[in-house]
Chains A and B, each alone.
Chain A
Amino acid sequence: MATNFTKSTARNIFFGGSLFFFLLFLALTFDTTQRLPKTDNSAVINPAIAHGKKIWETNNCIGCHTLLGEGAYFAPELGNVYKRRGPDFIKAWIKGQPTGVPGRRQMPQFNLSDEELNDLVEFFKYTSEINTNNWPPNVEG
C-alpha cells in the first residue's frame, strides 16, 4: 500500500489520544464524584463506622474474604454478611474462631474487644446498604 505510515503521526496520535481519554476519564470521575452521595451511603459514616473500616483493614480481612466482590477468594463475601447473618452471629463467629475443625479452612482469633466488634459490625451494616446495582445476585454472596 502506498499510504504513508509515519512514526511521528503515530506518536502524535498516541499523545493526543491518550490525553483525550485521560481528560474524559477525569470528567467522568468528576461526574461520578458528584453522584456518589446518592449511592454510596456515605451520609451514615460516623466514627464507629470509620473505626470499623480500620479494624477491617488492620486485621487484613480482605486477605481471605471479598468485600463487594473484591479481595481474596478463600472465605465468603462479606459485603452483604450483615443481611445474610445479622450482627449477633457475626460477633459470635469472630469471637469463636478458629473452629479447629480438621481440614476446614481456618480463620484466626483476632482478640477484638467488644467495642471493636461493634464498630466492625457497624461497618458491615454500612457496607450492606451501599447501592451496588443489585450485586450480589443472591444472599450467599
Chain B
Amino acid sequence: MINSALKNGPPGDLAIWIFILAEMSVFGVLFAVYAFDRSNQVELFNLSQATLNRVSGFINTLILLTSSYFVVRAVSAIKRNDSSACAKWLIGGMLFGLIFMTVKSFEYYDEFSHGISMDTNDFYMFYIALTFFHFLHVLMGLIIFSFILFKVIRGGYTSTEYHGIETGASFWHMVDLLWIILFPLIYVMH
C-alpha cells in the first residue's frame, strides 16, 4: 500500500490536494493565531473554555472517526468493483457526518441561548468561528458525497475508474483530521 502511494502519488485528483493544502494552511494559521491570542489572555481563555461541552465534543470526534472509517470501506468496496457495498458504506459515512452536524447544532443552540456569540470575548470568537468554519466543511463534504453517491448508484464508478470517490474521500479525511486537531486544541488544552 505504501509502495503504491509512493509510486502513484496521493489518491484522488491533484486539484483537490492543492485545495486541501490551501485549506490546511488557512486552518493552520487560524490555529496559530488562536494560540498567540490565547497566550495573552490565558485566564480568560481557560475560564471560557471550561464552559464548553467536552463530552459532546468527544462524542463528535468518535463520530467523525467512524464516518472516515466507513468512507475507507467505501473506497475498498469500489476497488473490488462492488458498487452496491460502496454505496452502503458511503451512506453510512454520510449519515455519521449528519449526526456530527446534529450534535454540533445542539451544542450551538445551548450556547447561543445562553447569550454566547462571537462578540462575547476572544475565546468564544475563535471557538464559534473555527467550529462553524469546520461545520461548513462537513456540510460541503456531505454535498460532495451526494454527487458521488448518485454516480455510484448509477454504476458510474468501477474498480478501474474511481477517481472521483478517492477525491471526495481525501477531502473528507482532511475534514476529519482538522477536527482531530481542533477538538483538543479548543476544547481541552489548558
Contact = CB atoms under 8 A, between A and B. Distances in A.
Instruction: Please tell me whether chains A and B touch each other in their complex, using a CB distance cut-off of 8 A.
Output: yes
Interface of A: 1-6, 9-10, 13, 16-17, 20, 23-24, 31, 35, 38
Contacts of B118: 31
Interface residues of chain B: helix, strand, loop or mixed (majority): helix
A4 B13 contact: yes
B167 A3 contact: no
B55 interface: no
Contacts of B9: 1-3
A13 B133 CA distance: 17
Contacts of A1: 8-9, 14
Q: How large is the interface on B (under 10, 10 to 19, 20 to 34, 35 or more residues)?
A: 20 to 34
B10 interface: yes
Contacts, number: 47
Interface of B: 7-17, 19, 118-119, 133, 136, 140, 143-144, 163-164, 167
Given A3-B9, A31-B118, A24 B14 contact: no
B167 A9 contact: yes
B101 to A, nearest CB: 15
Given A2-B7, A3-B12, 13 more contacts: A1-B14, A3-B9, A3-B13, A5-B14, A5-B15, A6-B13, A6-B15, A10-B15, A13-B15, A16-B140, A17-B19, A20-B136, A23-B136
Contacts of A17: 19
A10 B133 CA distance: 22
